[in-house]
Amino acid sequence: MKKLILVLAIAFLSCNSKNSEKLAQSDLEKEDADIETNVEKATIYEGLLPCADCEGIETTLKIYQGDGTTESHVFELTTVYKGKKAVKPFIEDGNFNTERGLEDDQDGTVYVLNWDKPQSEQILYGCNSDNPEKMYLLNTKREKIKSQLDYFLQLKK
Q: How far is CA 22 from CA 28, 35, 59, 135, 145, in A?
A: 10, 20, 43, 45, 54
Distance of CA 128 to the CA centre of its chain: 20
Average pLDDT over residues 29-47: 65
Model-level pTM?
Answer: 0.72
Question: pLDDT tens for residues 109-118?
Answer: 999 999 999 9
Nearest Cα to Cα of residue 123 among 57, 37, 67, 69: 57
Residue 35 — pLDDT band, cuts 50, 70, 90?
very low
Q: Tell whether 15 is covered by a domain.
A: no
Q: Tell whether 147 is covered by a domain.
A: yes
Residue 67 — pLDDT band, cuts 50, 70, 90?
confident
Q: Tell whether 3 is covered by a domain.
A: no
What is the number of domains present in the chain? 1
Residue 28 — pLDDT band, cuts 50, 70, 90?
very low
Contact (Cβ atoms closer than 8 angstroms) between residue 85 and residue 78: no
Query: What is the pLDDT at residue 24?
Result: 46
Average pLDDT over residues 120-142: 96
Q: What is the mean pLDDT of the chain?
A: 82
Q: Tell whether 119 is covered by a domain.
A: yes
Q: Tell whether 13 is covered by a domain.
A: no
Query: What is the pLDDT at residue 10?
Result: 57
Task: Find the helix or strand (DSSP H, E) in which 152 lies.
Answer: strand 152-155
Query: What is the pLDDT at residue 21?
Result: 46
E-only strand ranges, 20-137: 43-49, 56-64, 74-82, 90-102, 105-113, 123-128, 131-137
Query: What is the pLDDT at residue 17?
Result: 46
Structural domain containing residue 82: 43-155
**Positive or negative torsion for Cα 122, 123, 127, 128:** positive
β-pairing verdict for 90-102 and 131-137: unpaired
Q: Tell whether 80 is covered by a domain.
A: yes
Nearest Cα to Cα of residue 157 among 41, 8, 65, 21: 41
Task: Find the helix or strand (DSSP H, E) in which 66 lies.
Answer: none
Q: Tell whether 7 is covered by a domain.
A: no
Q: Tell whether 134 is covered by a domain.
A: yes
Residue 106 — pLDDT band, cuts 50, 70, 90?
very high
